Structure 1
Amino acid sequence: MMVLKISTVLLAFVLGADHQVPTTSLHPPIVLRDRGGELVMDSGQPISTSVSCGKCHDTDFIQRHSYHASLDIDRTVDVGSLDGYRPWDYGRGGVGRWNPLTYRYLTPPGQQTLRMGIADWIRLQGRWHIGGGPALRGFGQVPLDEQVASSDVSSVDPNHQVFDPKDGQLRAWDWQQSGVVEMNCFLCHVDHPDNAARIEQLEAGKFGWANTATLAKTGLVEPSGEGWTYHRDAFEEDGSVTTEHLPLRKPTSAHCGQCHGLTHDGEEPLELKLSLRQWSTATKGQVFSAQRISDSAANIEGKEELTRPWDAHAQAMLDCRSCHFSINNPAEFRSSDRNRPKHLSYEPRRLTLSEYLRQPSHQFAKGQTAQGSIAGHLAGTMRRCEDCHDAPSTHDWLPYQAVHFERLSCEACHISQSFAPAIEQVDWTLVDTNGQPPTDWRGWKRDANGQALVTGFEPVLLPRSDLNGRARLFPINLVSVWYWVAGAEQPLPVRESDLQRAFLPNGIYHPELAAVLDADDDGQLSRRELRLDTSDKVAVAKRLLTEIGVSQPHIVGELQPYELHHGVGPGRDAIRDCEACHAKTSRLTQPISLADYLPGGVMPSPIGGTDVIFAGSFNDGPTEGESNTSLSWRPNLREADFYVLGHDDWPWVNVLGVLSILGTLIGTMIHAGLRIRHGRWWLDHDHPLESEQ
């Protein structure tokens, strides 16, 4: 086995980091069954991953031990009870914490107004969800298609109702017709899952077929009418399929990238797309690829000289599992001191391989980040830089190592720039004709030919409190978001459908709104005209919302931090110049742009629950109530008790320095004067002992 691993590594080295070494699936043939336990080859029903995989694996244990499935729906609290969070948040995870970038809010039980039920949440958010959890059980403990729904639609029930934006009425959802979404084992364990086919089924409300559609590229199934048809010649007589038709494997970075962001492991030139569907790339400009930036298909400024890879760890043949492993994997059990009780230096208790294969925990090791609020109880269980790298031995050129390591994260110097665009501003106070908000991206511009030119951007450095209570500097992209909120006593973001009803009746802009927005009177609304940057525009928009029944609409602005932890370059590209931080023009105080204008003249406020210390201030230009002005954030680390030699100039330090010098001079003068005076006294007086001699 060891010889095989070494040979594989050598082969990959010879062929190049981008070449994928063929893998042979060691998984035995699997019998595909439906939820009733029947062979899908005979029943023609959707595949049940829980039943099919459950013969060998404890699928119920796996689903209940996966924050990718639960999204912390089992850790929700009462609405508004989280200190520092939004008044309508009821959790720290992906279900209870509202995300204004996607503008989705799953209504919890007990609310009087339904914004989004479970079925609508699956249709709109299911592309980023592995299945199980809320997509299987909703806010209950048994599958949604086995729950008894009330026939009374006058009371809100997010488990069994959806909101119809056309007439504003509640509709009962038929889970027997749509099916539920079990945890999708195929999405992460099939060689080439068809994620697009899966998403298409989810958006169409055909939830039960989503997992089956993931196998569209295997040759086992094909779409047929309202469902899918199985190719009987691909099945064995006992209803099983061999690894030839269904090759199962350990997940790769490409599997993770289907939801998390842009990953690339092929030889074809990498392409960049501005889309929230590549979440990590959109919010942080991160790309996980071994390919050299100069070999990509993107139009990047100075591209010819960028011979470094997009990510040095990808080039070193690491993948997501290298750091984000299963926390009960016996092979990874002692990867970090944080994975064992503090009173032990060695943890002998671990699963055998057979026990692990039966119950592999899908609670993956995770770090602590400003945006990673899901499964906070597992924060710090993954490998950090210091778990693999011996920093003191490779930083012998760095003076005062202990101080730097105590106050700086490794990423502060090793991710000093992102080479892909990221979101800068999202303005939900208006929507375009497609129902999308005007969105600005940092890190790109138009070149002389009008083509998009990627310039990249430098993240801002802000302190965040880590698990040890230390405030260390991390590279962060700050995203500013504005949106309408209704109500005062029980505030909630205005529904997306209400925005369209008020601003876009019949699919076109309301005449009054169009008139006040059309600055050049050409009858068309350009991208730059879609902004509420004057009091007149805000007044019209507020009145239109009020007319359709929105109570007390007002604009709220937020500032959201997104930390960068991927996109690490080779060591030679890390910052080594002391002047970069310690000079007067320090990168530690370089501002980062937040917005070209202030919707409604509202200043954004940093969101809570991030552990980021927002030490600094907005630029001096905008004040409360101004709209047509740009906005940026300038860090001031002195507010967070950081003192940077050569950059910070504290008056009391100068005063103490001057006083110490003056004190020394005065003391020296007094001492010298006394010596001189004593010498003269000695010369002016007789000394008996000297006379006798």
Structure 2
Amino acid sequence: MIFVLIVAFCLGAFTLRAENQKEPEKKPVASGVCPPFYLKDEGGNSIDPVHNINADKPYSPKQTCGTKNCHDYNKITEGFHFTQGKGEKVPELFAKRYNWVSSPGNYGGTWCSPAPLYRQLASKKNDNARMIDMTSFDFVTATCGTCHPGGGPLEYDRGGNRYDEYMKKQGMKSGDDNDLDGDYFKARWIDTGVIEADCLLCHMPEYNFKGRNKQLGNLNFKWAATAGSGFGNVDGSIKDSKPVKVDYDKSKFDEEGKVIVHIAPGPRNETCLQCHRKPDWKKRGAAFSPRTDVHIAAGLRCIDCHAAGSNSVDKRIRGKEVHQFGKGDDPSGWVRNDLDNSMRTCESCHIEGWRNAPKASHAWLPPFHMETLSCQACHIPSRAVKSALVQASDVYNPAPRITPPPKHIWSFYDQEMNFWNHYGELDLFTAMDQPTDVT
């Protein structure tokens, strides 16, 4: 009897305790948006400046954004904005015109670096140092890195090895000949680190491009993303042999040490124009301003026509997180020609009525006009902004305000073959102040 009473008492006490003991309140989980998160260093370790955990390490975009259950870093960096020609076969006609190129893009192609005479990307294997002009390391420092989002040839060599890790593994030394390897000759990847694809460069509207590029100039490659994002200040310089230090801005982090970021799902026009404004003015007189572009005035974004990922209009590049942006068919551009005409067309909007755009029935026109002529033939008969018809690199011109001085050998001529001091205008004002000049 006593045993039964004791058991009953214990069971009652346990039940009462269970009823009074409430389960810990669960915090709501963010869904559909990127919640505050811990930054990670290159080793995948959390960075928490609030509690001084790994607060002396630069953050790694790859380890932070490309972790499991977040984003597919490898798929994203297959995009041609990241590869910039790396691994692509040179088209036959392109190779005949430029017999020194090894790719159709910036990396190994004709566009980089912006010197008086095009530089040649060194071969992977070389017999003599005199055969080496621009290495993969030089590709960054020749200012090509300023318009490269990271990843691709800024992270991996032509054998698929991460530069800094491979140098250590092979016993290479910073600044040495390193077997005359075109990826490692005189390179300092061990000191500088690599430049991973920086997601926030496109997806953070307040991204500090000047801050990032300053770090590239100082050879602080792996610190560039930290400076560009504004998560912290970076002092020191690998180039000047000054120790590099990170000082995170704690106001950017919550009480748990997680960073709070303003992220835009799609890049804003201003972000795209950081790289595309100047060359597109020079090449085709594009202004991208409400004053001269009816689509910009109507509120359209670059990515409305140059859509990517799940929003792509072309099945060749459609897919979750596929970063092959829809492209047209620029006669002067040879990168990923297999993806030409994958962007939204005039017909998509003005024949099919995408986004309730005004439809161009043109019932008063004979049908063959719509079948034969392009929309641009009538609607863009000339550009409101001057563009270059010819660019010569064998004529020295003494025009003022051309910087740096070697660019005096690059001479531009407008649509009427009049000399055009394009670089002087860029120095005198900016691409934001393009003068209207219908020719």
- Both structures adopt the same fold (TM-score exceeding 0.5): yes
Which structure 2 residues correspond to residues 400-439 of structure 1 after superposition, within 5 A? 401-402=367-368, 404-423=369-388, 424-428=390-394, 430=396, 434-438=405-409, 439=411
2:73 counterpart of 1:57:
no
Contact 2:307 2:344 in 1 (8 A): no
Decide whether aligned partners of structure 1 residues 289 and 81 sit closer, same or farther in structure 2, where only a CA change above 3 A counts: closer
The residue that corresponds to 1:146 in the other structure is 165
DSSP-derived class of the 1:30 partner: coil
Decide whether aligned partners of structure 1 residues 405 and 204 sit closer, same or farther in structure 2, where only a CA change above 3 A counts: farther
Decide whether aligned partners of structure 1 residues 426 and 239 sit closer, same or farther in structure 2, where only a CA change above 3 A counts: farther
CA distance in 1, matches of 2:327, 2:268: 17
Q: How big is the shift at 1:230?
A: 0.5
CA distance in 2, matches of 1:319, 1:248: 13
DSSP-derived class of the 1:69 partner: helix
Decide whether aligned partners of structure 1 residues 259 and 180 sit closer, same or farther in structure 2, where only a CA change above 3 A counts: same
Decide whether aligned partners of structure 1 residues 317 and 339 sit closer, same or farther in structure 2, where only a CA change above 3 A counts: same
Decide whether aligned partners of structure 1 residues 366 and 430 sit closer, same or farther in structure 2, where only a CA change above 3 A counts: same
Q: How big is the shift at 1:111?
A: 4.8
The residue that corresponds to 1:288 in the other structure is 288
Contact 2:82 2:152 in 1 (8 A): yes
The residue that corresponds to 2:315 in the other structure is 339
Contact 2:113 2:139 in 1 (8 A): no
Decide whether aligned partners of structure 1 residues 241 and 155 sit closer, same or farther in structure 2, where only a CA change above 3 A counts: closer
Match 2:260 to one of 213, 222, 242: 242
2:434 counterpart of 1:456:
no
The residue that corresponds to 1:130 in the other structure is 149
Q: How big is the shift at 1:134?
A: 0.2
2:59 counterpart of 1:47:
yes
DSSP-derived class of the 1:228 partner: strand
Unaligned runs of 5+ in 2: 1-31, 237-243, 353-358, 399-403, 422-427
CA distance in 2, matches of 1:46, 1:88: 38
CA distance in 2, matches of 1:153, 1:57: 40
Match 1:95 to one of 97, 107, 124: 107
Instruction: Return the letter of the residue paired with 1:68.
Output: H
Q: How big is the shift at 1:32?
A: 1.0
Q: How big is the shift at 1:179?
A: 1.0
Task: Give the stretch that moved more between structures: 203-212 or 52-61.
Answer: 52-61
2:182 counterpart of 1:158:
yes
Aligned alpha-carbon RMSD (Å): 3.2
Contact 1:30 1:53 in 2 (8 A): no
Q: How big is the shift at 1:376?
A: 1.5
Unaligned runs of 5+ in 1: 1-24, 162-171, 262-277, 293-309, 342-349, 459-693
Instruction: Return the letter of the residue paired with 1:339.
Output: K
Which structure 2 residues correspond to residues 661-680 of structure 1 after superposition, within 5 A? none
The residue that corresponds to 1:206 in the other structure is 220
The residue that corresponds to 1:272 in the other structure is none
Contact 1:445 1:454 in 2 (8 A): no
Q: How big is the shift at 1:223?
A: 3.4
2:194 counterpart of 1:180:
yes
DSSP-derived class of the 1:115 partner: coil
Please give the per-residue CA displacement for 1:519-543, whole angstroms capped at 9, x wherever unaligned.
Answer: xxxxxxxxxxxxxxxxxxxxxxxxx
The residue that corresponds to 1:221 in the other structure is 232
Contact 1:260 1:279 in 2 (8 A): yes
Contact 1:69 1:129 in 2 (8 A): yes
The residue that corresponds to 2:83 in the other structure is 70
Q: How big is the shift at 1:39?
A: 2.9
The residue that corresponds to 1:394 in the other structure is 361
Contact 1:101 1:426 in 2 (8 A): no
Contact 1:107 1:116 in 2 (8 A): yes
CA distance in 1, matches of 2:93, 2:282: 30
Please give the per-residue CA displacement for 1:18-53, whole angstroms capped at 9, x wherever unaligned.
Answer: xxxxxxx94311211110122333322221101111
Decide whether aligned partners of structure 1 residues 381 and 84 sit closer, same or farther in structure 2, where only a CA change above 3 A counts: same
Q: How big is the shift at 1:96?
A: 3.2
Decide whether aligned partners of structure 1 residues 228 and 100 sit closer, same or farther in structure 2, where only a CA change above 3 A counts: closer
Contact 2:125 2:182 in 1 (8 A): no
Decide whether aligned partners of structure 1 residues 184 and 200 sit closer, same or farther in structure 2, where only a CA change above 3 A counts: same
Please give the per-residue CA displacement for 1:309-342, whole angstroms capped at 9, x wherever unaligned.
Answer: x21111221101111111x40xx35x3xx5379x
CA distance in 1, matches of 2:264, 2:37: 10
The residue that corresponds to 2:45 in the other structure is 38
Please give the per-residue CA displacement for 1:555-593, whole angstroms capped at 9, x wherever unaligned.
Answer: xxxxxxxxxxxxxxxxxxxxxxxxxxxxxxxxxxxxxxx
Contact 2:385 2:435 in 1 (8 A): yes
CA distance in 2, matches of 1:144, 1:215: 23
Contact 2:193 2:220 in 1 (8 A): yes
CA distance in 2, matches of 1:286, 1:210: 30
The residue that corresponds to 2:132 in the other structure is 114
Decide whether aligned partners of structure 1 residues 242 and 94 sit closer, same or farther in structure 2, where only a CA change above 3 A counts: same
Q: How big is the shift at 1:430?
A: 4.6
Q: How big is the shift at 1:182?
A: 0.4
Which structure 2 residues correspond to residues 555-594 of structure 1 after superposition, within 5 A? none
Which structure 2 residues correspond to residues 443-522 of structure 1 after superposition, within 5 A? 454=435, 456-458=437-439
Instruction: Return the letter of the residue paired with 2:391.
Output: Q
Contact 1:130 1:187 in 2 (8 A): yes
Q: How many residues align?
A: 357
DSSP-derived class of the 1:394 partner: coil
Instruction: Return the letter of the residue paired with 1:422.
Output: S
Q: How big is the shift at 1:455?
A: 5.1
2:271 counterpart of 1:255:
yes
**Larger % of strand: which?**
1
DSSP-derived class of the 2:378 partner: helix
Please, what TM-score do these two structures have when normalized by structure 1? 0.47
CA distance in 2, matches of 1:240, 1:430: 55
The residue that corresponds to 1:314 in the other structure is 296
The residue that corresponds to 2:343 in the other structure is 382
Instruction: Return the letter of the residue paired with 2:122.
Output: T
Q: How big is the shift at 1:154?
A: 7.9
DSSP-derived class of the 1:119 partner: helix
Q: How big is the shift at 1:388?
A: 1.6
Please give the per-residue CA displacement for 1:268-321, whole angstroms capped at 9, x wherever unaligned.
Answer: xxxxxxxxxx2111222211122x3xxxxxxxxxxxxxxxxx211112211011
Please, what TM-score do these two structures have when normalized by structure 2? 0.72
CA distance in 2, matches of 1:288, 1:227: 39
